[in-house]
Amino acid sequence: MSDYLIKSLLAVLLLGAGLTAFLSMMARFGRPGDEARTARLRKVHKVAGYIYIALLAPLAFVGAKFLIEMGDGLSARGTLHFVLAMTLLAVLFLKFLTVKTYRQLLKNAPALGMTVFSLTLIIFLITAGYFFLQTAAGK
């Protein structure tokens, strides 16, 4: 199994965890309900968020290793991936700090979460999506 395939499969799981976390909070804030439903959605969001972080760590490690191997020979798509990935890590770090440490800034968490999911989707589409399209085309 190639490194690209392993990374792409992990990216599918990452996108699934991100989508679960995103949709659970969108449902919580977008359609307020009773306290039991709200607590359940928050728990789903928290579990999906930790799964997301657990999947992102090895992807970032393998990506950093790949970046070191490529050196200055990185393609434009690879450079865009790198810049977006660094942005994703920064926004995710800010969201985690906001939620865990700086609770007075909690009003910013929904916007940070939407940004994290948007960046995840964009990075997925320009890398794993591209890989799956190339594989399906037989290239």
Chunked into runs of 10 residues, the chain (139 residues) has average pLDDT values of 88 97 92 82 96 96 91 89 96 95 91 97 94 87
**Contact call for residues 29 and 42 (beta carbons, < 8 A):** no
pLDDT for position 2: 83
pLDDT for position 36: 82
* CA of residue 22 relative to chain centroid, distance: 10
Kindly report the pTM of this predicted structure.
Answer: 0.90
